[in-house]
Amino acid sequence: MQKDSHRMTFLFRRWDRISWPFCPYKSLFPRIDKAQNGRVVLSHLLVLIWLWPAAVGFGQTSTSGRITDGYIRQPGFDVLHYNLSVSVSDTNNVIHGQAVITVRRLDLSDSTLTLDFTNMTVASIHIGEKTAKYSTCVEQIEVFLPSRLDTLNLTIQYQGEPQDGLYIRQNKFQRRTVFADNWPDRARHWFPGIDHPADKATVEFHITAPERYTVVANGRLEQERHNLNGTRTWTWRENAPIPTYCMVFGAAEFAVLHLGEAVNVPVSYYVFPGDAAVAKKSFGRTDQILQFFTENIGPYPYEKLALVQSSTRFGGMENASAIFFAEAALGSPRTEGTSAHEIAHQWFGDSVTEADWHHLWLSEGFATYFEAIFYEHADGEAAFRDKMRRKRDSYLNFAQKKLTPIIDTTVTNYFDLLNANNYPKAAWVLHTLRHLIGTENFWQGIRDYYKTYRDGNALTDDFRRIMERVSGEELGWFFNQWLRQPGHPEIKMEWRWLPKEKSVEVTLRQIQAGTFFRVPLDVEIVSAGEKTRHTVWMEETEVRIKLPHDKQPERIVLDPEEKVLMTIVQ
């Protein structure tokens, strides 16, 4: 995902997100506020104490590590498939929907399934052919399940006007459009489900819209049916499990440009007719980007690649196989970089998905770095270094205002995670790791990581273990210092020539406040046009070392290849 200036205006109702287990006791809270003489009914307090560990996700794990993002897991259930039928109209913004959700029940003793769903009117819920008992509460539906069913199909009929997550509005050409825009947990505004990336599923769409619309969605187009009432129904199906934030469709008057295939993947552009002339130039070298990532990471995970002009609130949104771009992006020279970023997400974010929102760097940091790596491959070292410098400057500007770790478990509003830590700093962490373990080991680790967790979920420790295995090195210290502590090294270098000893004495000091960083630093000595390079490990706050050198240096260059995220203080 590429950020834009509107992302921070969204305010989450975080209390609602953690309060659903208390719904039967919702009346307790005003009673507490109004209790005379501070008296509170003891039984209600006991209920709160009993439910609190579940509300904060205490002790729950996924893959490895502790869950910290506040979303309440339901380990007894696994959604396997969403079959979503949605009808949209040109006369109003009300949608009519049916969601058939296939759920595997992992714990038969768990008799209540909670689905995220908000601001919609539920007409009925069936389990198979039988009417189900359910209750609605805040932003969820609680469905009460019969015993002994290990796999069940829930059919939910609903309607309403989406307040978020599905945008029905005019585009810049004043033509009506409909676009889903779910990140991070806004799918709940237009279809019911487990709206968290830890529960991935396949999805099928049946979108009915007025005849003039073309509909694009995840996966492969299976059917386009003309109806007698002047509408068309489009059926798209995604056969790989994806997170709900990637489950989207778009309906608009599109010009569809088919570019053929790249590495056996059909590539197409869906753009507004008024921008069709600039689409190919704007999106850039899509076929080369797709080929480079496929050859170096692993097989592309989806049935097609569609780049779609849309009304997403982000600069770009990585929806699996159907990337949405902000409508104003076409014509901008930056769009190719956004394309590379979002295409990289198809592997990291969409296919290998973080199991906890606080590990967002596994998505955004990877996409940011692989965008830069594409330019290293296509345009050379100078272009790559320029992009990495820009990313470093972006992070340093952010760090001057707010110093927090990449894995920041204090964040409760997920939109606050869209910051320079999870994008450029995380990209630099991968860059530094690459040079620490070697480029060959780095790429092998990337391929193994993708192969191991393709279509699934991972946490940071999963990635660390794979990189340790391929490199043969213990890397816990590296991941801890770069991801779980804030800041970066600020290094002051001093040196002097010792002619009698034929050496250069170099003193390196880390002067940043707070945390220390263990780093290997290349020191380059330049004399009479000749360059001699040494690697010095900073194992302490100050390191003084004598480096053999026959001639008086003209200058000393620290980290000449820019391998480490740091500032050098003169």
Whether residue 364 is found in the same domain as residue 471:
yes
DSSP string, 16-81: HHHHGGGGGGTTHHHHHHH-GGG---HHHHHHHHHHHHHHTTTT-BSSSSB--S-----TTEEEEE
pLDDT level of residue 149 (50, 70, 90 thresholds): confident
Q: Is the pLDDT of residue 356 over 50?
A: yes
pLDDT level of residue 333 (50, 70, 90 thresholds): confident
Query: pLDDT tens, 407-426?
Result: 999 999 999 999 999 999 99
- Tell whether 538 is covered by a domain: yes
- Tell whether 302 is covered by a domain: no
Whether residue 553 is found in the same domain as residue 503:
yes
From 483, 503, 522, give the residue that closes a domain.
483
- Tell whether 369 is covered by a domain: yes
Whether residue 472 is found in the same domain as residue 498:
no
Q: Residues 504-522: what's their mean pLDDT? A: 96
pLDDT value for 25:
25
Q: Is the pLDDT of residue 56 over 50?
A: no
Q: Residues 464-477: what's their mean pLDDT? A: 98
User: pTM for the whole thing?
Assistant: 0.89
pLDDT value for 4:
60
pLDDT level of residue 65 (50, 70, 90 thresholds): low
pLDDT value for 16:
34
Cα–Cα distance between 140 and 388 in angstroms, integer?
A: 43
Q: Is the pLDDT of residue 352 over 90?
A: yes
Residue 28, token pair as written in the block: 């307790």
Whether residue 429 is found in the same domain as residue 538:
no
From 456, 483, 510, give the residue that closes a domain.
483
- Is beta strand 249-252 parallel, antiparallel or unpaired with respect to 176-180? antiparallel
Whether residue 367 is found in the same domain as residue 464:
yes
Whether residue 459 is found in the same domain as residue 500:
no
Whether residue 475 is found in the same domain as residue 504:
no
Whether residue 471 is found in the same domain as residue 396:
yes
Query: pLDDT tens, 83-96?
Result: 999 999 999 999 99
Residue 475's CB: how many other CB atoms inside 10 A? 16
From 18, 39, 55, give the residue that closes a domain.
55
Whether residue 452 is found in the same domain as residue 412:
yes
The count of domains in the chain is 3
Higher pLDDT among residues 332 and 542, named by residue = 542
Least confident of 21-25, 244-248, 319-323, 530-534: 21-25
Query: Residue 494's domain is classified under what CATH number?
Result: 2.60.40.1840
- Tell whether 203 is covered by a domain: no
Q: Residues 328-336: what's their mean pLDDT? A: 88
Are the C-beta atoms of 152 and 105 separated by less than 8 Å? Answer: yes
Query: Residue 430's domain is classified under what CATH number?
Result: 1.10.390.10
Q: Residues 375-403: what's their mean pLDDT? A: 97
Whether residue 477 is found in the same domain as residue 356:
yes
HSE at residue 521, side-chain half, CA atoms within 13 A, is 33
Whether residue 496 is found in the same domain as residue 560:
yes
Residue 333's CB: how many other CB atoms inside 10 A? 9
pLDDT value for 38:
36
Q: Residues 301-330: what's their mean pLDDT? A: 96
Least confident of 52-61, 62-71, 522-531, 556-565: 52-61
- Tell whether 162 is covered by a domain: no
Q: Is the pLDDT of residue 285 over 60?
A: yes
Question: Residue 564: which domain range?
Answer: 490-569
Determine which helix (DSSP H) or strand (DSSP E) holds 52, and give its type and residue range.
helix 42-55
Residue 125, token pair as written in the block: 């819920």
Whether residue 392 is found in the same domain as residue 445:
yes
pLDDT value for 8:
34
Higher pLDDT among residues 11 and 164, named by residue = 164
pLDDT value for 18:
33
User: By percentage, how much of the chain surpasses pLDDT 70?
Assistant: 89
pLDDT value for 235:
99
pLDDT value for 51:
34
- Tell whether 71 is covered by a domain: no
- Tell whether 223 is covered by a domain: no
pLDDT value for 26:
27
Cα–Cα distance between 389 and 114 in angstroms, integer?
A: 46
- Tell whether 270 is covered by a domain: no
